[in-house]
A and B are shown apart, each in its own frame.
Chain A
């Protein structure tokens, strides 16, 4: 069809189409009689391109093979399920994904041991420098959305407690030591908090969840939080460190008066008690797939160098959320493997494909507008002779 058009033109066309769709949506929303006061802007999250179904169908016609991918442990359940579903629809293509850790995944990607990688934090300039220049530019796209809950174990307190960034910063750097400290009671009037010492539960191992949580503290309480934003933090000695989300979850469950940050899927699957967190609009929001999506919808223009979506505006936003990223080469060296990788990733990152598996597992699907820009980016992936590999 449009195969003859250059990639530049097609990209511009796709951009125009996306903007057009968003504009049309905005027009419709403005004209709708039940519009809320904020509806003069586009519907949050954007609208999925109408060409999506065609692309999804074409994605299932990828050539047979067995590409491998490695990286983030956070996305492993999602990727495993998505790729399994993909293979049930296109039995020749089996993607083998292993959650060896984002760091090892990046090392594999740099050395060419895997066909694409997944990382909770996009490759920084220092990592990108390790990819040989001959391999060409590196593409990074968000592949799934996740939230971080603040789960706690407070015997005798039945009402859900409310916390904000400054209080959380104080709890996790050890300055707020007891549950009935003034900062906490001030946020929870009417709730009798015990005088027991708080036991902060944190990750012992390096983790993207830690990154998102500390990013939130740094953005929302910059004057209070001094421990930095990173996958590994020098927590105070009062914090109990356990490896993995499941370890922290287990520890919270068995330690009275503890509080920790746990990835949303764990909290939902195990019926944890989690706190309502004050968002940028001043509303105390309970973490859920909907509130995480509301936060992400507020900011669609994430890039690998500017990817934080914590503490976004909006009354319904849950402020502690973040993306995980898929990483691949823009210039694929094999047309077959390249087609497999780009089609599988396109299928996985769009509604009607892999994103449909997200909710059942406790993840949150990418906002439609972001899905559109993902596709735009994937459309730039070419084979060894420069031909684009993704099409409808």
Chain B
């Protein structure tokens, strides 16, 4: 016997249920889309908010600092109030030497620590990580004081004491940012290398570090920007110098010292020099930032 299937689309419970679900889904999608649009708009708005102070501060430094830039500014040493033709050449040399020495020591040390933290999970690693976190919150003047107690009291004021202090300011940032970057490398990459029989040091050198390079560069750049922009540690360690000094074992001048000291003077031309130095510092970090990203991109393309 043939059974007739009576199928009424308008009253079939399955179809009804399906329509219900579709209705909810469409409503949900509409609502979720609205939320999404709002949230995305908020993110854009926040980006805009982040750019505002950037524009304001950079514009201010440019407006106040650019008038100080002339050939003398870059080639002459600092001169006291009333002596024309002064510049910041000795401060440039000082900042460069201190920055290079501090970075040269802090980056390998910090990245090694970061690698250590990324590759270990125990309590010891936890303690080291905690130490790095706490040290990022230490006022830079206390690091300057530490440099004074540790180095200056025994060996006198010098560029090296300043590099020591700046290095300690940079170190925790590099450690933590480095660890974050190294952890971001997919474990599959290192596991593949391990399966191929590579030793851990080779994996680190050839796989992990290159893969983490963008993050590492960000971390190092943040640390260097912070280090170059610090004043208090330098005041108590490098001492400052009105004359040219290439020898890092002697007191040196630095751009941040010039900014700090000159900006609190009553004399307009010294204040001018301070802003010129501030602008120079910003430009230097900008150049380092762009330069390192370009280098990283070039290196990555070479490896292919």
Contact = CB atoms under 8 A, between A and B. Distances in A.
Direct contact of A and B (CB under 8 A): yes
A111 B149 CA distance: 11
Contact of A361 (B79, B81, B235, B240): B81
B188 interface: no
Interface string A344-368: 0000000000000000111000000
B239 A100 contact: yes
B236 interface: yes
Contacts of B153: 111, 113
Interface in A319-378: 360-362
A119 interface: no
Interface residues of A, number: 32
Contact of A77 (B81, B235, B268): B81
A244 B194 CA distance: 60
A244 B262 CA distance: 12
A90 interface: no
Main secondary structure of the interface of A (DSSP, over half): helix
A270 B156 CA distance: 38
B108 to A, nearest CB: 31
Interface centre among A83, A98, A100, A269 (most CB of B within 10 A): A98
Contact of A80 (B157, B242, B264): B242
A68 B242 contact: no
Contacts of B235: 98, 100
Interface string B70-94: 0000000001111100000000000
A84 B80 contact: yes
Contacts of A99: 261
B266 A265 contact: yes
Interface centre among B80, B241, B261 (most CB of A within 10 A): B80
Contacts of A255: none
Nearest to A247: B264
Contacts of A77: 80-81, 265, 267, 270
Nearest to A360: B82
A301 interface: no
Interface string B261-304: 10111111010000000000000000000000000000000000
Nearest to B267: A269
A70 interface: yes
A361 B82 contact: yes
B264 A244 contact: yes
Given A77-B80, A96-B251, A104 B236 contact: yes
Given A98-B239, A265-B266, A269-B267, A81 B81 contact: yes
B243 interface: yes
Interface in A220-275: 244-247, 249, 265-266, 268-270
B266 A98 contact: no
Contacts of B157: 68, 113
A111 B240 CA distance: 19
B239 A96 contact: yes
A76 interface: yes
B152 interface: yes
A94 interface: yes
B148 to A, nearest CB: 8
Contacts of B261: 76, 99
B250 to A, nearest CB: 8
A385 to B, nearest CB: 25
Interface string A85-102: 000000000101111100
A96 B81 contact: no
Contacts of B242: 80, 83-84, 94, 96-97
Given A94-B243, A113-B156, A246 B265 contact: yes
Nearest to A357: B82
A217 B5 CA distance: 108
Contacts of A73: 264
Which 4 residue pairs of A and B lie closest in terms of their CB atoms, listed nearest first? A269-B266, A81-B80, A266-B266, A80-B80
7 contacts: A68-B157, A73-B264, A81-B80, A81-B83, A113-B157, A246-B263, A246-B266
